[in-house]
């Protein structure tokens, strides 16, 4: 499965958006080297696919980027939602 990681530099972090994820998957990474694994983990959490099956194309933009002051909790909130969804899905699968 192929996904795109659109990376915008914000301070010491890369804010990474994955447009193929319906819920608007957003995560962050310290370095561009971390992006493929981070995105694979995000995709796995949000979709239930094996992270080893996720192919990531990285698009890096070093411009002004996103305003994290405005988006502050979005990556954490989305990760929390994804983890909650995975727990619900796993609980239902055990029934």
The angle formed by the CA atoms of residues 88, 72 and 36, to the nearest 5 degrees, is: 65
pLDDT per residue rounded down to tens, the chain (95 residues)? 899 999 999 989 999 999 999 877 899 999 999 999 999 999 999 999 999 999 999 999 866 544 444 444 445 555 556 566 666 666 677 76
User: What pLDDT is attached to residue 74?
Assistant: 47
- How far apart (Å, rounded) are the C-alpha atoms in residues 2 and 71? 26
Query: Which residue, chain included where needed, has tokens 């411009």?
Result: 63
By residue range, what is the domain housing residue 19?
Answer: 2-93
User: What pLDDT is attached to residue 17?
Assistant: 95
User: What pLDDT is attached to residue 81?
Assistant: 60
Number of domains in the chain: 1
DSSP per-residue string spanning 16-84: EEETTSTT-EEEEESSGGGHHHHHHHHHHHHH---GGG-EEEEEEE-SS---HHHHTTHHHHHHHHHHH
- This prediction has a pTM of 0.65
**Length of the chain in terms of residues written:** 95
Q: Are strands 2-10 and 55-61 parallel, antiparallel or unpaired?
A: parallel
């Amino acid at each position: 499965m192929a996904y795109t990681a659109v990376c915008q530099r914000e301070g010491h972090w890369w804010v990474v958006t994955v447009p193929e994820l319906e819920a608007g998957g957003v995560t962050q990474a310290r370095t561009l080297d971390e992006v493929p694994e981070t995105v694979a983990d995000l995709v796995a959490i949000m979709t239930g696919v094996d992270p080893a099956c996720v192919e990531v194309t990285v698009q890096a933009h070093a411009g002004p980027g996103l305003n994290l002051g405005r988006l502050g909790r979005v990556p954490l909130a989305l990760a929390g939602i994804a983890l909650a969804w995975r727990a619900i899905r796993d609980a239902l699968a055990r029934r």
